[in-house]
Every structure is written in structure tokens, then in C-alpha cells.
Structure 1
Amino acid sequence: MLRRPNDLLLLIATYIESERDINMLARTNRRLFSYLDPFLYRHNVNYSHSSAFRWAATCGQERTARRAIDAGSKESDEALRLSAAHEHEEVTRILLAVEGINKNPRDYIWRIPLSHAAAEGHGSIVRLLLDTGKVDIKSRDAFDWTPLFCAVSGGHESIVKLLLDTGKVDIDSRDNSGRTPLSHAAA
């Protein structure tokens, strides 16, 4: 089989349904790996909704994130939320460099990556997102919380200072229960 033309190797791989099996075949030697690894990432994008990309963002796997992007993954919004929430600075940096990426994708409670990073106290991610100049610092989630509310409620003073230093936050904004960030800080 190893003497067959490369196109034939790829054709054979198209008949293998399991990504696990494709991966096992790819790992049998370097030549197969060089041809089948990119195929495996494309297969993952097309048939597994870019699960490798989401895994890379969650686990901080830079190489996998780059390969998923190269394979055409369009799941960068979800990956950005995941990498920010899990404090994977380099993966977040890679994702922010993707042309056309939405810097403010919302999750199921309408929270953006900046809010997740602020809530978790991930200062390096907050700085990275703010440095793009394209995050919505006044974004509100389903509870009318802004990133400032998230940082205050988590007790992350350094994040609160970072957000206040932008001069763009509304310190008198109210959430859906009528409370301000200051009232959350005092509670």
C-alpha cells in the first residue's frame, strides 16, 4: 500500500468513516501522516462540526487550533469563547488573528469572551481582548451584566481596574435587578 500514489492513499481514506481509524492509519508512518493528517482535520471540519477546534480552544492546544483553521473550520466564534474562558492566551491570540473573526460572539446567556475572562479573573486574556480595540466593553448579557459586573462579582480588583482604565465603562449602569457594579462590590 505504501508504494501507491498519494491520490490513491487519500481515496482509500475517504472510505474510512471513523476519525479514530483515520488517525490510527495516519500514525503508522511519517509518509502516511504527512498525507492523512490534513485530510483528518478536513474530515473533522466536515463531519464532526470542528470538534478538534473546540477541543484545542478548551485545552490550549495551539498546533491543533492552527491546523483546524488551516482545514477551514468556521467555528472560531465558539473557540474564542472557550479559549478566553479557559485562559489559553496563545490560542486566543491565534483566534484573534483570524481574518473576519467576531470579537464579541455570544453564548447561551449572551455573554461575550471579555465577560467570561473578566468573571474568571483572567487578566492576560482581558488585556489581549481590550488591546484589539474591537470588543464591546458595554456588552450586556441575559442578566444585563457588563464585563465590569462580571469582574466585580468575581472579586477581581485588577480586572476591574483594567476595565475602568479604558474610560469606556458605565459605572452607574444597572443590571436587570436594578443593582450597580458598586452595589455588587459592597454585597
Structure 2
Amino acid sequence: MSWLTVKSFEPCERDINALAQVNRDLYALLNPYLYRLNVHNSSNPAIAWGAYHGQEAIVRKALEQGAWTGSTFGTGKSPEPITLAALSGHANIVKLLLNHGVQPMKRWGWNDNGLKNRAEVLQVLIDDAGFVPRFFDFFKLLPYGDGYFDTIEGFETFKVLVRGCPKWEYHVKHKYAGLLSFAIHVSFGNLEIVRFLVDSGSPVNDQDLWGHTPLAYAADAGNVETVQFLLDRGADFDP
């Protein structure tokens, strides 16, 4: 069977794919041709489908057959495959596409809407794409980045953000000094979160917009361990 033969049946791509599933030998014969055919399918490219659904094998096969890494659904208004993979939390596919030369920051603005709860994806973008998190992008949504401290996934993302953000200590001291108080309030004084924030530069005595200190929030939450930790780190009863 030649490529031209399969190409002539391009309008019947879905039917050919169904036929290929009937027999293992037939599948092995037709599958490479089907991927080559799909490279030209602008309405439902395999590379975009695989990226969205986390199917690394499909993305690899599409790339092997020359799929354009910017191919996406419909008229091209949907996010590109690397963005689809990132928003869906498929760090392995993000890494694969980066290794094929994709520039992830070209058409998509990464911020807390896109990468919250996507710690692994964010780490790949920082390590492999030279992505530098901007403090403002991740704290556009008031107050203070809601969602980072009330779930495990959100906190893991927050830790990656802090470690990758330039001048973090400056920002957290001068622009978002109330971040520690907010984190204690929404996490009910979670000691792990509080320890990380203090170790990362959050002031222990700064008041939030309502005049409350981290120590006051920890005491209100009834978290004795967190209260003791803050006192050990220099928290003042009456700052």
C-alpha cells in the first residue's frame, strides 16, 4: 500500500482508522499512514488531541510524522498543544514538546489562572523553557493569590513559584506583607505553610489590611504549634 493510496481516502480518515482497529497486522500497516494523513487535518489534529488528553504515545507518533507543533482544534483559535497539555497538567507532554523546540511563551500568558495546581508543569517550564515567574502575574486575583493555601496542590504550585520568582523576598516584604496573615487565615494555621513562608522571607509582625498580625490569626485558629513557631521566630504580641 502506498501513501498516495491512503491520501486519496483523506475524507474517510475516521473510517480508515476504524478499519485499522479490526486486525493487528492491518493496524501496524495503516497506522503510520493515518498519522501522516492526520498531519493535514486542521479540525481535529492528533497532536492537539493527545496533548489535551495526556496521551504521550499519540503526541510522539504525530511528531514523528511531521505534525506541526502549533496545530490545534478548529480554526486555530484554541490554545496550541503545549498549552493544552499544560492546562491539563500533563508535564511529560509539555517537556516532550519543549524538546521539539516549542516556544511556550509565544502566544499564551502564563499566570495563576493557567498554572494554579500545576506545580509539575510550572517546574518543567522553569527548568526547560527558561520561564521566569513574575510575582504580579500570580497574584492578580485578590486577595493575595486565593487558592494557594487551601489545597495541597495549590501550595505545591506556590512553592515552585516562590523558588522561581526573582526578588521574592523584596516583593513579599514591600508589596504583599499581609500574605503570611492571609495564608494562616485560610489554612487554619497550617504549620508547614507558615514555616515555608517565614523561611522564604515573609515578615512575622506585619499587619494585613485589617490591622491583624500573623500571630493573631494563628491564635484565632487555635493552632498552638503555629503560635509557638511564630513566637520563636520573633513574633510580637503587640507589634
Distance across 2 between alignment mates of 1:113 and 1:74? 25
Look up the equivalent residue of 1:154 and give its one-letter code. Answer: G
Matched, 1:135 2:131: yes
**Aligned residue for 1:15?**
8
**Identity over aligned pairs, percent:** 25
Contact 2:111 2:137 in 1 (8 A): no
Q: Compute the TM-score of the two structures, normalised by the length of structure 2.
A: 0.56
SS across alignment from 1:66:
helix
Q: 1:122 pairs with 103, 115, 118, which one? A: 118
Work out the CA distance in 2 between the residues paired with 1:11 and 1:166. 50
Q: C-alpha separation between the residues in 2 aligned to 1:96 and 1:163?
A: 20
Structure 2 unpaired stretches of 5+: 71-78, 149-153, 183-208, 210-239
The CA distance in 1 between the partners of 2:179 and 2:12, in whole Å, is 50
Task: Give the match for residue 146 of structure 1.
Answer: 137
Q: Cα RMSD over matched residues?
A: 3.2
| Deviations, residues 61-90 of structure 1 (Å, cap 9, x unaligned) | 111111111121113471111111111122
Matching of residue 83 in structure 1 with residue 85 in structure 2:
yes
Unaligned residue ranges in structure 1 (runs of 5+)? 1-5, 140-144, 174-179
Q: What does residue 203 of structure 2 align with?
A: none
Q: Distance in 1 between matches of 2:122 and 2:25?
A: 42
Larger Rg: 2
Of 155-164 and 145-154, deviating more is 145-154
Shift of 1:133: 5.0
In 2, Cα distance between the equivalents of 1:47 and 1:22? 14
1:104 corresponds in structure 2 to 105
SS across alignment from 1:152: coil
Q: TM-score, normalised by structure 1?
A: 0.69
Tell me which residue corresponds to 1:142.
none
Aligned length: 163
User: Residues of 2 paired with 1:148 and 1:132: CA distance?
Assistant: 23
C-alpha distance in 1, partners of 2:49/2:111?
17
Task: Give CA deviations for 1:151-177 in whole Å, capped at 9, x if unaligned.
Answer: 92432333233222224256659xxxx
Higher RCO (CA < 8 A, seq sep 6+): 1
